[in-house]
Chains A and B, each alone.
Chain A
Amino acid sequence: MTLKATGLSAVRLGRTILHPTSLEIEPRGRIGLVGVSGSGKSTLGHVLVDDLKAQGASVAHVPQSPAEALDPLRSMAFHWREAEVAVGLVPGAADQAGLFQALRIEGGDLRKRPWGWSRGMQQRFVMAMALIGSPDLIVLDEPTSALDPVVAAATMELLSTFLDDKETSMILITHDLGLAARWVDRLMVMDAGRLVEQGRTADILERPQTRSAKALSAHRNWLALPC
């Protein structure tokens, strides 16, 4: 099912931080929502999640830091049960073993509280919770920036492999076009609360049209190594 949202907008303290925006997400689509700080990409992410949920779609959101998703006083088992109930499952019905194996957190002790797990494992646990019930869309907001690079790269790899044979679409929100370009096939570029450019990843990398896409593309990595 293609997800459609039209006329998404947001106002904060009398200032428009997201101008009316419409977008479509194909099944299995992998989209990067990119822009510099304050361009409105996280706002669009939030408004989109709310709008699609109101339409009845199942949408999961993974925040930047697992600390935003996990209650430090509750066990991992508690969080898991809550996530199951939230998507209408009977506790214990989700394929926990399969998800944990796919994200390589099968060794984690569910009796522990979040801080008993490493941050990388917590973030993968949050992703596993988000994937319960095979949502139509998973929205990842800077999912790697709180992680060490080796852990971050492995997490993206595992998630990407898991999604390969699923219908679930993915939106990756990031300020880093270099990161997005590795994992998505379409890009949406935000600037000052507007969606200013969208297209295939390779096209935007090679032929960015707008000022912001040009800046993001020009600064997408630190160095190109000779192969």
Chain B
Amino acid sequence: MVSNVRVKGRNRDRLRDVSLALSAGRTLAVVGESGAGKSTLIAAILGLLKPSEGTISWNGAPTRAVRPALVIQEPRAAFNPVLSLRRSIMEPVVAQGIVLTEGRLQRLCAGLELPEEVLDRRPGEVSIGQAQRAGILRALIAAPPLILFDEPLSALDAVTQKHTARLIFDLQKEEGFAALIVTHDLGYAVAYGDQIAVLKAGRIEEIADADVFAINPRSDYCCSLRDAAIALGSLEVAA
């Protein structure tokens, strides 16, 4: 739960009066252009930035306590280049002293369509799509209640993007984590978000259920986002 959060920047507020609710098994997609405050929001939720006003909590405790996981945009940069993917993926498990249930790794690999032998390679030795699925695997392995996805698909090609989005969706149904997806791609947001929040210059411009937003965004700015998504082929208008 993010309530009335303000994060000050040098010249202007990086976030101002931002309130969002996240819940188990649901996806909130945060859309906005560069500099809108998307990454600041993620850093604040992770506890890496302290808001100057407002609170961020998960069931009453600081979000840090539940160790939310993060999936970043550039899959290979998420891993130590000299370690096998398996070593990196197991880091949260080792760090948190978790005992994995029998077959969990295999089940997640199957869900992400990652052959297990891929995990013994280094990040530079796998395709970018595989590296991103390994990043998602690492986020999921310790079963956090909340996963933050920062532009998780933008390094992937259009076909791989849709496939990976589907895999994330299916795993969310099984695992029940709450997801916050930050993206500039409105098409992805409305296809997989339950709710859409549009961030502009540090403020929430509009927040709505995805199906309502897609058909009838309220503000001019949100209309221009939708028109751009149509012009770029991310959304299509049925004939």
Contacts and interface: CB of A to CB of B under 8 A. Distances in A.
Nearest to B233: A178
B231 A177 contact: no
A153 B229 CA distance: 8
B82 to A, nearest CB: 23
Given A221-B234, A222-B162, A223-B191, A153 B227 contact: yes
B215 A148 contact: no
Interface stretch (A71-79, A124-132, A192-200, A212-220): A212-220
20 contacts: A37-B129, A148-B33, A149-B185, A149-B234, A150-B33, A152-B232, A153-B232, A156-B232, A178-B232, A179-B158, A179-B232, A180-B233, A219-B162, A221-B233, A222-B185, A222-B188, A222-B235, A223-B191, A225-B214, A227-B237
Nearest to B36: A148
Tier of interface size on chain B: 35 or more
B158 A216 contact: yes
Given A149-B229, A156-B231, A223 B190 contact: yes
Contact of A220 (B158, B191, B227): B158
B184 interface: yes
A150 B228 contact: yes
Scoring A148, A178, A221, A222 by chain B CB atoms within 10 A of each residue's CB, the highest score goes to: A222
A182 B236 CA distance: 10
Interface in B12-63: 33-34
Contacts, number: 109
B186 A149 contact: yes
Secondary structure dominating the interface of B: helix
Interface of A: 36-38, 119, 144-145, 148-154, 156-157, 175-182, 215-216, 219-227
A144 B238 contact: no
B159 interface: yes
Interface centre among B33, B156, B227, B228 (most CB of A within 10 A): B228
A225 B215 contact: yes
B102 interface: no
Contacts of A157: 231
B187 interface: yes
A223 B233 contact: no
Contacts of B33: 148-151
Contacts of B161: 219
Contacts of B237: 224-225, 227
A138 B62 CA distance: 53
Interface string B188-209: 1011000000000000000000
A37 B160 contact: yes
